[in-house]
Structure 1
Amino acid sequence: MLLLSSIPLHLLFNSLIFQTDQRDSEYQLAIASEGFFTGVPFYVPGASLNPPGWMTTSSGFYGGGGYGLGVILPSNNSSVYHRNVSAMASEALIWDNLTAQECYNDYFSCGGIKGHRNVIAVVDQKDGWIRDEVWNLMANQSEFWDPIVPSNETNSLWWAGPCAMMAEYVKEDGVVCRDTCTSSWGHDGYMDSPTSKKTNNSPWVLSFFNDSRVMWLVNNTKGPDGTYLHQASPNEYTNDITPGASDLTVNYCLAEPIDHFCYVSISNVLLLAVTICVLVKTMMAIIVTVVLARRDQAPLVTMGDAVVSFIERPDRTTVGICTIGQRDIRGHSNQYQATQLAGPRAWAARVSRRYKVVPVSVWFTSYALFALGVGVISYFLNMAMTFLDHHLTGQVLESDTNPFLDSESWSFASAVLVANSPQLLLSFCYLAYNNLFTRLQMAKEWATYSQGYYPLRVTDPKGEQFSTYRLQLPYKYSIPLIACSILLHWLLSNTIYVFVSAGGYFDNDLFTYQRGYDSSLPDGTIVSVGYSTWSLIVMLAVSVTLVTIPIALSFKKLPSGSLIVGSNSMAISAACHVSSVSNVATRGALYSNESIKSNRRSWKWLPSRLEAPPPPYSPLNDAQKARRDSLQYVQGDDQSLLTPHGRPESDHFEMRDLSRHTSRASLLSGRESPMTKEDVYEQIARSKVRWGVVTMPPEFYAEYEQEQSYGHLSFGVEEDEVTPPVDKVKYA
């Protein structure tokens, strides 16, 4: 349930709160002299004699809310068109003054209306233009224009009209902007986004009749035949413009400032789904906590927890196989066959590397996941490059200039599932990646105990034990791993993402013919799924680099005196059968009264009477003699010594109960409180330990009578003088 309830979180949580970009498209453009807003008269449609919707706007071809369509011949000063132009002239002085370069950047970026809406391009014509100085009209044309634009009066307006920026999705180029006033801004063609290469500090020359097709229409005539100028062929109304008259140098712009809104929205449906998943996970966590608390079991979170558990509560099924490793166990079909390896086995000293700690199956499944992830990235990158004709477009982060996935009907829910499904795969890859690091670190941690005396790393430390890392792995690994996870999830969220926008810029037939609307979202809001080719490349490079790191770390060498147990509980258990005659009993300072329960018998644990003679042993060295003197057992009123090889110096041993009311002083004449076998195990687990050759009680050496000499490998304290295993020597 914990796993199943996590899947919807990965798929839905990232899009629970989303951004809605408000991108409008409509604005008014006027090209005029300074006299336009300082009181010099103007006559619409301006000295260009070019009403909106005629030659220099393309609204009629691409929609845009009807701008440029149905405009009545502007002799009627009460028309909406005339009122809009008059409002621009009266309000211009309170608008923002933009340099020519700023104006160029704002409006020629053509990404929808952002910081400014209506704009006046102020050109280097102080007061304005006189019609007869600009045009050489024929008699019939002059007769038509005289009531509208006087022939000999100064006109402070060159051109004015409504414009619209609209997004269009083009297969080869991604999202491009169509400005209905492209030609009015002085660029070729009707529909292409502006392509002028104006550089900083260079004059901005606006060639109003730049299009060769428009110039042909302007300089030819057939005579008027209609009431509405926009309904007639344009070459019927103008003829022979003065050369250079339409080449205008823009000095600066006056732009109407607006607030660019960006909304933060929340999906109620996704919120409900995420809330249910969180409640399920919370309830499961509470249930698991309560159940485990009732069982009164120590947590087995770290390797140290497992070692403590196996030391304090030895597993009988793993006795006598202290040299067995995880590969020996995995090489047998079941645990029973592995236990048949019990008995003395010769130690084979060899140099091992960390990769042997990780089972082959784990390597395979982990890198199969990594290969799947890298393969998915490579596939989409190849598809994107093919789709875009091998051109990189857009930006690294989320942007409306990035390409979009094709779909005829995007709903918000479907877009969320498609955009976030790679997050689920990434989470599985990270779990596998973290698992590899954890296993490699466990190999290093286990090997350190064969090199010296170290406390065990446990969840609930006691004695000399120390607490686990807060993040389970050492900080030098865990912090970079978490940082990589955050980076990859963030990068992936910018590689493929849900795109939501409101306003007219994207809400048009050029963009929405293959996008979608969702009834759960406000009117005029479109939904799509975008992706970044640049982020795909970065994601691929980062992923390929990261998957090589575990391989590099896995070739580090492990000490020859250590055993490869990995995370195999049976192998760990077999290596944790400590000696009951450990010299830890001689510690007075470290042993605390809390480990002696009030209901225990106050007696010393003694080995039972031997039923078979001990195996032969070599003469004791000085260190072993010193240890022999420290291991004393009570036999009546006498004391008998036990050698490190298990041979008693007295033939009779017995275990005698001591009175509960006997004082510690009377028991051992000043020595420490007596310890049971369980106390010895507990004290070893709470001390600094080392893994290697330890001395066992005499009956251990009588277990395998056919063997002449053998030892035992397990954990011991400093007083036990643990030594490394010797090559070709047998241990059981």
Structure 2
Amino acid sequence: MAIVTGLNLLKCVCITYTHYLHRRSARESATKGPPYLVTIGDAIASFLQDEDKHTMGFNWATKRNFDKGWPSKRPNRLISTPKSEFWFRAASKIRWGITMSLCIALITIVGFLLGMTISSQRALGVPVDLPSLWSYGVGASNQWATSLAGRMRQLSQTSGFFFAVLFANMFQVIVSALYLLYNNLLTVLVMAAEWNDFISERKTLRLSAPRGIQRSGYFLSLPYRYSIILMTCSGLLHWLISQSVFIVQTVAYNPEFERNPAKDASSIGYSSIGIMFAMTIGSVWVLALLVIGFTWRYTPTKPRDGGPRPPFPMPLANDYSTLVSV
């Protein structure tokens, strides 16, 4: 535990120092050199100051016009006005495919493992109805709720312990990696929504080195109404995983009740109800992103000053700096 706490503290120090270096470099760039294009506000400010001659006349260009390469003629001669698009179109098919396939694959594997634990308990005559599973507790070790005990006996005490540590924490690492993919995909969708809002009303830009009335970028890369919910769910999911699969260490005694360290062993304990909760939250997490992507649309909103609603949305640009520059 002390090692894990120390490494987490070191990680926090590194993140804080990296954030400090980024802010300092951004301030120096804003006064001494060309600006960084970190946020969509950086790109807008840069192209407003120095127009891109290569994209002049592409006023109605959208992401689709550049998906298959550079257009041979001006897209505003080919299309009329932008149409309202679903949020899922802001991200590429590859990004959607990789993120969703890995998330669904993990949920499927966890569901298979849950079925194995239920079958094992049923074979031992342990009740598996929901009230009984709840009574066993989340994160509580039970004599019949262990796995890989045979594998552990084939290893030395040290090897068995480290194997148990790696196996119990393997799911934490996998979920952390999937969280990065999930966060990246959601950030792309929300970034496109922020870009679309510029057609409805004037807003100050979010820059990595703001000046005057300009705003700074989001510290968590997403608006707080998304990032706070996302981090809360992530923390809850990681806690449930830690209570679903954990290390169980047995301490051996001889018939005279004297310690026998040579017989100490490590095994993997599990909580079926904890696995159910973790799988449910993960499934809801994935389903929420699918609902957002395939039901929400990028549409113009009514300006707060009471003006008329724009007749069409912004061209879908997403994180394409080429389209931001038109």
* Class of the TM-score when normalised by the shorter of the 2 chains: 0.7 to 0.9
> Paired residue for 2:92?
359
Q: CA deviation at 1:368?
A: 0.9
Alignment of 1:571 with 2:312, yes or no, is no
- Which residue of 389, 404, 408 maps to 2:146? 404
Alignment of 1:348 with 2:91, yes or no, is no
Q: CA deviation at 1:388?
A: 2.2
> Paired residue for 1:496?
245
Q: CA deviation at 1:343?
A: 6.3
Structure 1 contact 496–532 (Cα < 8 Å) conserved: yes
Q: For 1:331-356, what per-residue CA distance to the aligned partner results, in whole angstroms no more than 9, with x for missing partners?
A: 22xxxx34x33364242343322221
User: Any unmatched runs of 5+ in structure 1?
Assistant: 1-16, 18-265, 509-516, 575-732
SS in 2 for 1:421: helix
Structure 2 contact 252–263 (Cα < 8 Å) conserved: yes
Q: C-alpha separation between the residues in 2 aligned to 1:425 and 1:465? A: 38
Structure 2 contact 23–209 (Cα < 8 Å) conserved: no
Q: C-alpha separation between the residues in 2 aligned to 1:400 and 1:271? A: 23
Q: C-alpha separation between the residues in 1 aligned to 2:13 and 2:207? A: 30
User: Please, which moves more after superposition, 384-393 or 418-427?
Assistant: 384-393
What is the one-letter code of the residue matched to 1:405?
S
Structure 1 contact 373–429 (Cα < 8 Å) conserved: no
Q: Give the 3 Å change call, closer, same or farther, for CA 396–434 of structure 1 in structure 2.
A: farther
Q: C-alpha separation between the residues in 2 aligned to 1:529 and 1:284? A: 37
SS in 2 for 1:389: helix
Greater helix percent: which structure? 2
User: How many corresponding residue pairs?
Assistant: 288
Q: Give the 3 Å change call, closer, same or farther, for CA 433–290 of structure 1 in structure 2.
A: closer
User: Any unmatched runs of 5+ in structure 2?
Assistant: 300-311
Q: Give the 3 Å change call, closer, same or farther, for CA 471–558 of structure 1 in structure 2.
A: same
| Identical-residue share of aligned pairs (%) | 24
Q: CA deviation at 1:271?
A: 8.4
Q: Give the 3 Å change call, closer, same or farther, for CA 488–282 of structure 1 in structure 2.
A: closer
Q: C-alpha separation between the residues in 2 aligned to 1:443 and 1:271? A: 38
SS in 2 for 1:388: helix
> Paired residue for 1:437?
186
Alignment of 1:257-406 (within 5 A): 266=2, 274=7, 285=18, 296-332=33-69, 337-338=70-71, 340-342=72-74, 344-345=76-77, 346-389=79-122, 391-392=127-128, 395-401=136-142, 403-406=145-148
Q: For 1:595-628, what per-residue CA distance to the aligned partner results, in whole angstroms no more than 9, with x for missing partners?
A: xxxxxxxxxxxxxxxxxxxxxxxxxxxxxxxxxx
> Paired residue for 1:534?
273
What is the one-letter code of the residue matched to 2:313?
G
Alignment of 1:485 with 2:218, yes or no, is no
Alignment of 1:623-634 (within 5 A): none
TM-score by length of 1: 0.36
What is the one-letter code of the residue matched to 1:539?
A
Alignment of 1:128-207 (within 5 A): none
> Paired residue for 1:43?
none
Q: C-alpha separation between the residues in 1 aligned to 2:15 and 2:193? A: 35
What is the one-letter code of the residue matched to 1:377?
V
What is the one-letter code of the residue matched to 1:355?
F
- Which residue of 297, 312, 315 maps to 1:557? 297
SS in 2 for 1:462: coil
What is the one-letter code of the residue matched to 2:73?
L
Alignment of 1:227-238 (within 5 A): none
SS in 2 for 1:528: strand
Q: CA deviation at 1:443?
A: 2.1
> Paired residue for 1:194?
none
Q: CA deviation at 1:442?
A: 1.5
Structure 1 contact 396–533 (Cα < 8 Å) conserved: no
Q: CA deviation at 1:541?
A: 1.6
Structure 1 contact 565–571 (Cα < 8 Å) conserved: yes
Q: For 1:555-604, what per-residue CA distance to the aligned partner results, in whole angstroms no more than 9, with x for missing partners?
A: 22222231101111222122xxxxxxxxxxxxxxxxxxxxxxxxxxxxxx
Q: CA deviation at 1:531?
A: 1.1
Q: C-alpha separation between the residues in 2 aligned to 1:498 and 1:311? A: 57
Q: Give the 3 Å change call, closer, same or farther, for CA 562–462 of structure 1 in structure 2.
A: same
Greater strand percent: which structure? 1
SS in 2 for 1:499: strand
What is the one-letter code of the residue matched to 2:298?
L
SS in 1 for 2:172: helix
Q: CA deviation at 1:279?
A: 11
SS in 1 for 2:192: helix
What is the one-letter code of the residue matched to 1:404?
T
Q: How large is the Cα RMSD of the aligned pairs?
A: 3.4
Q: Give the 3 Å change call, closer, same or farther, for CA 561–284 of structure 1 in structure 2.
A: closer
Q: CA deviation at 1:371?
A: 0.9
Q: C-alpha separation between the residues in 1 aligned to 2:316 and 2:240? A: 38
Structure 1 contact 443–566 (Cα < 8 Å) conserved: yes
Structure 1 contact 397–535 (Cα < 8 Å) conserved: yes
SS in 2 for 1:298: coil
Which entry has the higher C-alpha Rg, 1 or 2? 1
Q: C-alpha separation between the residues in 1 aligned to 2:18 and 2:204? A: 31
Structure 1 contact 437–550 (Cα < 8 Å) conserved: yes
Q: C-alpha separation between the residues in 1 aligned to 2:23 and 2:85? A: 42
> Paired residue for 2:282?
543
Alignment of 1:635-654 (within 5 A): none
Q: C-alpha separation between the residues in 1 aligned to 2:107 and 2:43? A: 36
Q: Give the 3 Å change call, closer, same or farther, for CA 396–539 of structure 1 in structure 2.
A: farther
Q: For 1:358-389, what per-residue CA distance to the aligned partner results, in whole angstroms no more than 9, with x for missing partners?
A: 22111111101211220121121122122223
